[in-house]
Amino acid sequence: MVGMTTEASRRVLLAAPRGYCAGVDRAVITVEKALEQYGAPVYVRKQIVHNKYVVQTLEKKGAIFVDETEEVPEGSIVIFSAHGVAPVVHEEAGARRLATIDATCPLVTKVHREAVRYADSDYDILLIGHEGHEEVIGTMGEAPERTHLVDGPADVAGLTVRDENKVVWLSQTTLSVDETMETVDALKDRFPNLLSPPSDDICYATQNRQVAIKQIAADADLVIVVGSRNSSNSIRLVEVALQAGAGAAYLVDFADEIDEAWLEGVRTIGVTSGASVPEILVDGVLEWLAARGYGDVQVVTSTEEHIQFSLPKELRRDLRAEATAGETS
Ligand code: SF4
């Protein structure tokens, strides 16, 4: 029994938008279509997206996830994950005669291009991001000599650049908007001529999910974020919810990770999910909550999303060739 609240007073505020973004949707469909087109196994370097359920589901269909291209048998097909890869990874794959399909999100590719452009113009790049995250490793790999990682304001004092008047900041796509701006402010204090990128690097999906959870967090005694522990944007949602006034906030992969004790005295529960989370996992959480008296679900929509990305060109080419062969046979 959930103490101190009556069922009539309990409710769930469900954030929208939540869950799959266009880059994740594209990456997951890429693996599914590749399996259909070429047959299993298809190798995938790193988790295609940072979600346990998605990875397990694709494994069952015949995808083999590896950490490095050297684990892929020569001549096989390998898909690069949505987080992007450094150019050296493309070279390694070429050396092993691997057929590559690049499922890097176009919004990550945009940051790679910026890094190349500023490095070519002789800038030092201050990349705001989390050390060790795959996306950061990939972006830094575009211009390793020119790029400095800034993992928060505390890193700013220790930076050494070649020319303080030729520095630009870029960022990982899945950071907290507010925290990133704090780091940018610290960078501007240190480098008054710091150049800003022409447009936001934190992607639309990350921003929209943070705005959506902020709208409900202050009214929520508890926020449940569905997402995996290695999902940067999902972890940020927990932090943003707490900063915006949620009584408590937790990250769960599946409904069965919710602790009944979290519900003690709780009337309003906010629910959202990270950009790599399929809706079926949110449904599982809503069912779990409904079974405990939280069946009143109100969707709180902050914005509508209509972005879609076309599949990687290597895959589209083969799918087209197949369709044409089907027409002529
Ligand atoms: S979170 Fe943003 S950058 Fe990452 S895959 Fe989704 S749309 Fe692309």
How do residues 146-159 score in pLDDT, each as one tens digit? 999 999 999 999 99
| Strand 77-80 versus strand 297-301 pairing type | unpaired
* 8-state DSSP, 64: E
The minimum-distance atom of ligand 1 relative to the CA of 26 is: 5
Judged against a pLDDT cut of 70, whether residue 329 lies above it is answered with no
| Alpha-carbon span 17 to 210, nearest angstrom | 9
pLDDT digit string (tens) for 30-60?
999 999 999 999 999 999 999 999 999 999 9
**Rounded distance from Cα 202 to ligand 1 centre (Å):** 9
Q: Is the peptide bond before 17 cis (omega within 30 degrees of 0)?
A: yes
What is the average pLDDT score of the chain?
96
| Alpha-carbon span 53 to 29, nearest angstrom | 15
Judged against a pLDDT cut of 80, whether residue 69 lies above it is answered with yes
Task: Give 3's pLDDT tier (boundaries 50, 70, 90).
Answer: low
Task: Give the phi and the psi of residue 173 in degrees, each rounded to 5.
Answer: -80, -15
Q: CA torsion sign, 41 to 45 to 48 to 51?
A: positive
287 is catalytic: no
**Rounded distance from Cα 227 to ligand 1 centre (Å):** 14
pLDDT digit string (tens) for 97-111?
999 999 999 999 999
pLDDT digit string (tens) for 119-145?
999 999 999 999 999 999 999 999 999
Alpha helix (H) ranges present in 191-296? 204-217, 232-243, 279-290
pLDDT digit string (tens) for 275-288?
999 999 999 999 99
The minimum-distance atom of ligand 1 relative to the CA of 82 is: 5
**Annotated catalytic residue: which of 32, 92, 114, 135?**
135
Which pLDDT value is given to residue 240? Answer: 97
30 contacts 79 by C-beta, under 8 angstroms: yes
Distance of CA 240 to the CA centre of its chain: 15
What is the pLDDT averaged over residues 216-243?
Answer: 97
Structure tokens that stand for 87 in this block = 């150019």
Full strand arrangement of the beta sheet holding 297-301 = 249-252, 222-226, 268-273, 11-16, 297-301
pLDDT digit string (tens) for 177-218?
999 999 999 999 999 999 999 988 999 999 999 999 999 999
Judged against a pLDDT cut of 70, whether residue 1 lies above it is answered with no
Full strand arrangement of the beta sheet holding 124-128 = 147-150, 124-128, 167-171
Task: Give 321's pLDDT tier (boundaries 50, 70, 90).
Answer: confident
pLDDT digit string (tens) for 244-270?
999 999 999 999 999 999 999 999 999
Q: Whose CA is nearest to atom 7 of ligand 1?
A: 23
Task: Give 325's pLDDT tier (boundaries 50, 70, 90).
Answer: confident
Structure tokens that stand for 90 in this block = 């493309």
| Alpha-carbon span 145 to 147, nearest angstrom | 6
Counting other chains too, the contacts that 178-184 makes at CB distance below 8 Å and 24 or more residues apart are 178/240, 178/243, 179/152, 179/239, 180/128, 182/153, 183/128, 183/150, 183/152, 183/153, 183/156, 184/128
* Residue 36 CB contacts under 8 Å (≥ 6 apart), including other chains: none
**Rounded distance from Cα 129 to ligand 1 centre (Å):** 14
Which pLDDT value is given to residue 328? Answer: 57
148: which strand partners? 126
Within 6 Å (CB) of ligand 1, which residues are found?
A: 21-24, 82, 105, 107-108, 173-174, 203, 205-206, 233, 275
* 8-state DSSP, 195: B
Q: Whose CA is nearest to atom 5 of ligand 1?
A: 23
